[in-house]
Amino acid sequence: MNGKKELIIVALGGNALLNSKSKGTIEEREAAAAQTSEQLLPLFQNSGYDVILTHGNGPQVGNLLIQNEEAASKVPPMPLDVCVAETQGEIGYILQKAMQNTFNKHGMKNITLTLLTQVLVDENDPAFSELSKPVGPYYTKEQTQTILEQKDWKFKEDPAGKGFRRVVASPRPVKIMQANIISDLVARGYSVISVGGGGIPVWISKENEIRGMEAVIDKDLASAQLAIDLKADKLVILTNVECCYINFKKPNQIELKDMNLDEAQTYFDQGHFSAGSMGPKVLSALEFVGSTGNKAIITSIEKLNEALEGQAGTVIHQ
């Protein structure tokens, strides 16, 4: 990397590019991407930073899986790794276009590009025998029984009573396959968007072939792996709250502005960060800080620039 510049990995949530309350039209997606680009602009205007963007794909891949099911009688549905690749391309295109328009509007010479990114997983990961990640639409009990007559899927009932959802493996990332290419592109001055949706899960067969895996990878863990692989100076994980809390939304709620590894690990082990929201973000920060000794920040996109100056968010450090 450019010796004097700080390399920052910024992980956007899928909801930053498609609000969970929106219908998912292209107009809504483009408007969300344009707003996100403007909010990220100061980061790219800072000459002291090299920035790599990563992003989730939860809402988008959920929509794609619904399309898969609805059209299954007319068009063969695609496996999960292909769906992740499709949403990487879709989200990457929309975000790349919005970022480039923002750069051009502000007279900047930055060139942004999206890299289709594969992430290596271990085919013997325990996640493949303990399916836990819900994906796709909700089904009735009768619908799940019909599907199970045709497919070897696993379902779990939603705790809130919304129905049943398919659950799939969510293995841990082992290595970002295109890490060196991403590094080279950043060194050449490109603004790179990568590891979309946690990356396309792949494994290496005995024949030394790259093969897709029917799974999804947590995008925060994949972003942390990229940050570790590239020895990034900071990992920034964006979410919909300004910082981490213990006793979240309870009368004794406490903001966590600054945590060392021991404190963060203790709160994590005590279950203060739920598996469906803040848990993976804190775990990703722990892994990055533990591996590199550098700082991780968890905050909202609205507070991003303040957080980089130490004025907002949660900082996790050694």
Q: Do residues 264 and 287 both lie within one domain?
A: yes
Residue in the structure block whose two tokens are 């292909």: 82
Give catalytic residue positions: 14-15, 133, 219, 281
For residue 304, give every residue at least 6 positions away whose Cβ sits within 8 Å of its Cβ, in sequence order, or none.
10, 39, 40, 43, 236, 238, 313
Q: Do residues 34 and 175 both lie within one domain?
A: yes
Q: Which residues of 35-50 are buried (b: 16+ CB within 10 A; e: fewer)?
A: ebbebbbebbeeeebb
Percent of the chain with pLDDT over 90: 81
- Across the chain, what does the average pLDDT equal? 93
* Beta strand ranges found along the chain (DSSP E): 6-12, 49-55, 112-114, 118-120, 133-139, 154-157, 164-168, 175-176, 191-193, 200-204, 210-212, 234-239, 244-246, 254-256, 258-260, 295-300, 314-317
For residue 200, give every residue at least 6 positions away whose Cβ sits within 8 Å of its Cβ, in sequence order, or none.
81, 84, 85, 88, 116, 117, 118, 119, 212
Single pTM value for the model: 0.92
Q: Do residues 104 and 218 both lie within one domain?
A: yes
**C-alpha torsion 32→34→38→39, nearest 10:** 20
> Looking at residue 281, which CATH number applies to its domain?
3.40.1160.10
- Give the Cα-Cα-Cα angle 119, 120, 121 (nearest 5 degrees): 115
Domain assignment present for residue 163? The answer is yes
**Whole domain around residue 150: which residue ranges?**
131-168
Please state the rounded mean pLDDT for residues 35-42.
Answer: 96
Which DSSP letter does residue 56 get? -
Q: Do residues 175 and 145 both lie within one domain?
A: no
Q: Do residues 57 and 184 both lie within one domain?
A: yes
Q: Do residues 92 and 206 both lie within one domain?
A: yes
Res. 149: pLDDT tops 50? yes
The band of 3, judged by pLDDT with boundaries at 50, 70 and 90, is low
Residue in the structure block whose two tokens are 């909801």: 15
Tell me: the pLDDT tens digits for 128-146? Answer: 999 988 887 788 999 999 9
Please state the rounded mean pLDDT for residues 213-219.
Answer: 94
Structural domains in the chain (count): 2
pLDDT of residue 1: 46
Domain assignment present for residue 275? The answer is yes
Domain assignment present for residue 309? The answer is yes
23-32, 35-44, 126-135: which is most confident? 35-44
Tell me: the pLDDT tens digits for 67-110? Answer: 988 898 999 999 999 999 999 999 999 999 999 999 999 999 99
Domain assignment present for residue 267? The answer is yes
Q: Do residues 249 and 304 both lie within one domain?
A: yes
Tell me: the pLDDT tens digits for 239-290? Answer: 989 999 998 888 999 999 999 999 999 999 999 998 878 999 999 999 999 9
Up-side HSE of residue 102: CA atoms within 13 Å toward CB? 24
Q: Do residues 139 and 278 both lie within one domain?
A: no
The band of 20, judged by pLDDT with boundaries at 50, 70 and 90, is low
Q: Do residues 289 and 213 both lie within one domain?
A: yes
Residue by residue, DSSP assigns 228-279 as: HHTT-SEEEEEESSSSEEESTTSTT-EEE-EEEHHHHHHHHHTT-S-TTTHH
Please state the rounded mean pLDDT for residues 165-176.
Answer: 94
Q: What is the C-alpha separation between 222 and 273, in angstroms, rounded?
A: 19
Q: Do residues 48 and 136 both lie within one domain?
A: no
pLDDT of residue 174: 98
For residue 126, give every residue at least 6 positions away whose Cβ sits within 8 Å of its Cβ, in sequence order, or none.
none
Q: Do residues 189 and 310 both lie within one domain?
A: yes
* Residues 165, 158 contacting (CB under 8 angstroms): yes
Q: What is the C-alpha separation between 289 and 9, in angstroms, rounded?
A: 13
pLDDT of residue 63: 85
Q: Do residues 146 and 21 both lie within one domain?
A: no
Q: What is the C-alpha separation between 51 and 289, in angstroms, rounded?
A: 18
Please state the rounded mean pLDDT for residues 104-124.
Answer: 97
Domain assignment present for residue 1? The answer is no
